[in-house]
Chain A
Amino acid sequence: DAMVIQNPRYQVTQFGKPVTLSCSQTLNHNVMYWYQQKSSQAPKLLFHYYDKDFNNEADTPDNFQSRRPNTSFCFLDIRSPGLGDAAMYLCATSGSGTSTDTQYFGPGTRLTVL
Protein backbone atom coordinates (compact mmCIF):
# COMPACT_ATOMS: atom_id res chain seq x y z
CA ASP A 1 0.00 0.00 0.00
CA ALA A 2 1.14 3.52 -0.73
CA MET A 3 2.20 5.17 2.47
CA VAL A 4 4.47 7.46 4.44
CA ILE A 5 7.13 5.64 6.41
CA GLN A 6 9.20 7.05 9.22
CA ASN A 7 12.29 5.48 10.70
CA PRO A 8 13.05 4.88 13.40
CA ARG A 9 9.82 4.97 15.38
CA TYR A 10 11.73 5.70 18.56
CA GLN A 11 15.05 7.50 18.74
CA VAL A 12 17.13 8.19 21.80
CA THR A 13 20.02 10.62 21.60
CA GLN A 14 22.24 12.46 23.99
CA PHE A 15 22.21 16.16 24.64
CA GLY A 16 24.20 17.83 21.86
CA LYS A 17 24.66 14.69 19.76
CA PRO A 18 23.46 15.15 16.17
CA VAL A 19 20.56 13.01 15.11
CA THR A 20 18.83 12.34 11.79
CA LEU A 21 15.25 11.24 11.34
CA SER A 22 14.10 9.84 8.04
CA CYS A 23 10.89 9.82 6.07
CA SER A 24 10.03 8.07 2.85
CA GLN A 25 6.89 8.04 0.75
CA THR A 26 5.47 5.86 -1.99
CA LEU A 27 2.74 8.34 -2.91
CA ASN A 28 4.95 10.28 -5.35
CA HIS A 29 3.76 13.52 -3.77
CA ASN A 30 5.41 16.82 -4.53
CA VAL A 31 5.27 18.22 -1.02
CA MET A 32 6.84 16.82 2.12
CA TYR A 33 6.43 18.38 5.57
CA TRP A 34 8.12 18.04 8.92
CA TYR A 35 6.15 18.78 12.08
CA GLN A 36 7.19 18.82 15.71
CA GLN A 37 4.53 17.79 18.20
CA LYS A 38 5.01 18.02 21.95
CA SER A 39 2.72 16.32 24.40
CA SER A 40 -0.89 17.52 24.22
CA GLN A 41 0.04 20.26 21.75
CA ALA A 42 -0.67 21.04 18.14
CA PRO A 43 1.67 19.74 15.46
CA LYS A 44 3.98 22.67 14.69
CA LEU A 45 5.22 23.00 11.13
CA LEU A 46 9.00 23.22 10.99
CA PHE A 47 9.50 23.36 7.22
CA HIS A 48 8.38 21.80 3.99
CA TYR A 49 9.67 21.01 0.55
CA TYR A 50 7.70 21.70 -2.58
CA ASP A 51 9.60 19.41 -4.90
CA LYS A 52 13.16 20.66 -4.37
CA ASP A 53 12.16 24.08 -3.07
CA PHE A 54 12.80 24.37 0.65
CA ASN A 55 10.41 26.48 2.74
CA ASN A 56 11.48 27.22 6.28
CA GLU A 57 9.06 28.50 8.91
CA ALA A 58 10.20 31.81 10.38
CA ASP A 59 10.34 30.50 13.93
CA THR A 60 12.10 27.20 13.22
CA PRO A 61 15.42 27.19 15.08
CA ASP A 62 18.62 26.98 13.04
CA ASN A 63 19.36 23.78 14.93
CA PHE A 64 16.86 22.05 12.64
CA GLN A 65 17.83 21.33 9.07
CA SER A 66 16.31 19.23 6.32
CA ARG A 67 17.38 17.46 3.17
CA ARG A 68 15.37 16.02 0.33
CA PRO A 69 17.70 14.10 -1.97
CA ASN A 70 14.86 12.84 -4.17
CA THR A 71 11.07 12.75 -4.39
CA SER A 72 10.75 9.77 -2.08
CA PHE A 73 12.97 10.69 0.82
CA CYS A 74 13.22 13.57 3.25
CA PHE A 75 15.45 13.86 6.31
CA LEU A 76 15.29 15.95 9.45
CA ASP A 77 18.66 16.75 10.98
CA ILE A 78 18.91 18.11 14.50
CA ARG A 79 22.44 19.39 14.81
CA SER A 80 22.68 19.77 18.58
CA PRO A 81 19.59 18.41 20.31
CA GLY A 82 18.57 20.04 23.53
CA LEU A 83 16.22 18.71 26.17
CA GLY A 84 13.51 20.95 24.73
CA ASP A 85 13.71 19.14 21.40
CA ALA A 86 12.28 15.96 22.87
CA ALA A 87 9.03 15.49 20.97
CA MET A 88 7.20 13.47 18.35
CA TYR A 89 8.36 14.35 14.86
CA LEU A 90 5.80 13.84 12.15
CA CYS A 91 6.43 13.66 8.44
CA ALA A 92 3.58 14.34 6.03
CA THR A 93 3.09 14.57 2.30
CA SER A 94 0.59 16.14 -0.03
CA GLY A 95 0.19 16.19 -3.74
CA SER A 96 -0.19 19.89 -4.39
CA GLY A 97 0.49 21.59 -1.08
CA THR A 98 -2.71 23.63 -1.22
CA SER A 99 -5.14 23.77 1.66
CA THR A 100 -7.72 21.73 -0.26
CA ASP A 101 -5.27 18.88 -0.38
CA THR A 102 -5.15 16.08 2.18
CA GLN A 103 -1.93 15.66 4.10
CA TYR A 104 -0.85 12.07 4.61
CA PHE A 105 1.07 11.51 7.81
CA GLY A 106 3.61 8.94 8.80
CA PRO A 107 3.40 7.27 12.22
CA GLY A 108 5.98 9.64 13.69
CA THR A 109 9.34 9.29 15.39
CA ARG A 110 9.41 9.89 19.11
CA LEU A 111 12.69 11.54 20.04
CA THR A 112 14.08 11.31 23.55
CA VAL A 113 17.03 13.50 24.54
CA LEU A 114 19.06 12.35 27.54
Chain B
Amino acid sequence: SQQGEEDPQALSIQEGENATMNCSYKTSINNLQWYRQNSGRGLVHLILIRSNEREKHSGRLRVTLDTSKKSSSLLITASRAADTASYFCATDAVPNNNDMRFGAGTRLTVKP
Protein backbone atom coordinates (compact mmCIF):
# COMPACT_ATOMS: atom_id res chain seq x y z
CA SER B 1 0.00 0.00 0.00
CA GLN B 2 1.14 3.56 -0.62
CA GLN B 3 2.88 5.29 2.25
CA GLY B 4 3.98 8.67 0.93
CA GLU B 5 1.88 11.37 -0.65
CA GLU B 6 3.55 14.15 -2.59
CA ASP B 7 2.24 17.61 -3.21
CA PRO B 8 1.80 19.41 -5.38
CA GLN B 9 0.90 16.81 -8.01
CA ALA B 10 2.32 19.12 -10.66
CA LEU B 11 4.56 22.16 -10.51
CA SER B 12 5.61 24.47 -13.33
CA ILE B 13 8.34 27.07 -12.88
CA GLN B 14 10.79 29.14 -14.89
CA GLU B 15 14.43 28.24 -15.21
CA GLY B 16 16.43 29.75 -12.38
CA GLU B 17 13.59 29.58 -9.87
CA ASN B 18 13.55 27.25 -6.89
CA ALA B 19 11.22 24.24 -6.80
CA THR B 20 9.85 22.81 -3.58
CA MET B 21 8.07 19.49 -3.40
CA ASN B 22 6.56 17.97 -0.29
CA CYS B 23 6.00 14.43 0.88
CA SER B 24 3.77 13.38 3.74
CA TYR B 25 3.56 9.88 5.13
CA LYS B 26 1.26 8.05 7.48
CA THR B 27 3.32 5.87 9.80
CA SER B 28 6.67 6.28 11.55
CA ILE B 29 9.68 5.66 9.38
CA ASN B 30 13.31 4.68 9.62
CA ASN B 31 14.41 6.26 6.36
CA LEU B 32 13.08 8.34 3.50
CA GLN B 33 14.48 8.53 0.00
CA TRP B 34 13.84 10.81 -2.94
CA TYR B 35 13.98 9.56 -6.52
CA ARG B 36 13.69 11.24 -9.89
CA GLN B 37 12.09 9.80 -13.01
CA ASN B 38 12.48 11.22 -16.47
CA SER B 39 9.52 10.60 -18.75
CA GLY B 40 9.30 6.97 -19.83
CA ARG B 41 12.42 5.95 -17.92
CA GLY B 42 13.38 4.23 -14.69
CA LEU B 43 13.84 5.98 -11.37
CA VAL B 44 17.16 7.41 -10.23
CA HIS B 45 18.08 7.76 -6.58
CA LEU B 46 18.71 11.32 -5.43
CA ILE B 47 19.14 11.37 -1.66
CA LEU B 48 18.50 9.42 1.52
CA ILE B 49 17.56 11.02 4.83
CA ARG B 50 17.34 9.03 8.04
CA SER B 51 14.74 9.55 10.72
CA ASN B 52 17.31 11.09 13.08
CA GLU B 53 18.38 13.66 10.49
CA ARG B 54 16.64 16.96 9.86
CA GLU B 55 18.35 18.22 6.73
CA LYS B 56 20.66 16.98 3.99
CA HIS B 57 22.24 18.62 1.00
CA SER B 58 23.49 17.27 -2.29
CA GLY B 59 24.54 19.81 -4.89
CA ARG B 60 21.45 21.90 -5.70
CA LEU B 61 19.21 19.57 -3.70
CA ARG B 62 18.15 20.20 -0.12
CA VAL B 63 15.99 17.71 1.73
CA THR B 64 14.36 18.30 5.08
CA LEU B 65 12.57 15.86 7.33
CA ASP B 66 10.10 16.70 10.09
CA THR B 67 9.18 13.46 11.84
CA SER B 68 6.74 15.23 14.16
CA LYS B 69 4.71 16.29 11.13
CA LYS B 70 5.51 13.13 9.18
CA SER B 71 6.66 15.16 6.23
CA SER B 72 9.68 15.82 4.06
CA SER B 73 10.46 18.44 1.47
CA LEU B 74 12.76 18.45 -1.53
CA LEU B 75 14.10 21.79 -2.66
CA ILE B 76 15.83 22.19 -6.01
CA THR B 77 17.61 25.51 -6.22
CA ALA B 78 18.36 27.42 -9.42
CA SER B 79 16.34 24.99 -11.48
CA ARG B 80 17.26 24.07 -15.03
CA ALA B 81 15.19 22.77 -17.93
CA ALA B 82 16.98 19.44 -17.46
CA ASP B 83 15.39 19.14 -13.99
CA THR B 84 12.05 18.53 -15.70
CA ALA B 85 10.97 15.13 -14.38
CA SER B 86 8.74 13.44 -11.82
CA TYR B 87 10.02 13.31 -8.26
CA PHE B 88 9.00 10.57 -5.85
CA CYS B 89 9.54 10.05 -2.17
CA ALA B 90 9.85 6.53 -0.82
CA THR B 91 9.53 5.48 2.78
CA ASP B 92 9.78 2.36 4.84
CA ALA B 93 7.61 1.74 7.89
CA VAL B 94 8.81 1.10 11.45
CA PRO B 95 9.71 -1.57 12.52
CA ASN B 96 10.22 -2.99 9.03
CA ASN B 97 13.15 -1.25 7.38
CA ASN B 98 13.10 -3.33 4.27
CA ASP B 99 10.19 -2.61 1.98
CA MET B 100 10.04 0.88 0.56
CA ARG B 101 6.79 2.40 -0.67
CA PHE B 102 6.63 5.18 -3.24
CA GLY B 103 4.31 8.15 -3.28
CA ALA B 104 2.45 9.26 -6.39
CA GLY B 105 5.06 11.85 -7.25
CA THR B 106 5.27 15.49 -8.25
CA ARG B 107 5.58 16.30 -11.92
CA LEU B 108 8.01 19.22 -12.25
CA THR B 109 8.23 21.24 -15.45
CA VAL B 110 11.00 23.80 -15.74
CA LYS B 111 10.46 26.19 -18.62
CA PRO B 112 13.54 27.59 -20.35
Interface residues of A (CB under 8 A from B): 4, 35, 40-45, 48, 59, 88, 90, 92, 97-100, 102-108, 110
Task: Report the Cα distance A16→B108, complex, angstroms.
Answer: 37
Chain B interface mostly helix, strand, loop or mixed? strand
Chain A interface mostly helix, strand, loop or mixed? loop
Task: Report the Cα distance A45→B92, complex, angstroms.
Answer: 13
Interface residues of B (CB under 8 A from A): 1-2, 4, 29-31, 33, 35, 40-45, 48, 50, 88, 91-92, 97-105, 107
Chain A: CB-nearest residue to B88: A42
Please give the distance in Å from B14's CB to the nearest CB on chain A: 23
Given A100-B31, A105-B42, decide whether A45 and B98 contact each other with a Cβ distance below 8 A: no
Given A108-B42, A110-B40, decide whether A103 and B107 contact each other with a Cβ distance below 8 A: no
Task: Report the Cα distance A44→B91, complex, angstroms.
Answer: 13
Check if A105 sits within 8 Å of B107, measured CB to CB.
Answer: no
